[in-house]
Amino acid sequence: MEMKKEKKPKAILNIDGTEYKTILPEDFEKRIKYHLPELDLIRSFIAGNIRKVNVKEGQKIKKGDKLIILEAMKMKNRVLAPMTGKVKRIYVKEGENVRKDQLLLKIEPDNK
pLDDT one-digit tens code per residue, 4-47: 555 565 788 888 999 988 888 888 778 888 888 888 999 999 99
Cβ–Cβ < 8 Å for 102, 48: no
How far is residue 112's CA from residue 108's CA, in Å, rounded to a whole number?
A: 12
> What are the structural domains of the chain?
41-109 (2.40.50.100)
Task: Report the candidate in 13, 17, 95 with the shortest Cα–Cα distance to residue 53.
Answer: 95
Which secondary structure element, helix H or strand E, spans residue 27, and what is its range? helix 26-30
Q: What pTM was computed for the model?
A: 0.67
The long-range contacts involving 26-32, CB below 8 angstroms and separated by at least 24 positions, are none
pLDDT surpasses 60 at 112: no
Share the mean pLDDT of the chain.
89
How far is residue 32's CA from residue 91's CA, in Å, rounded to a whole number?
A: 27
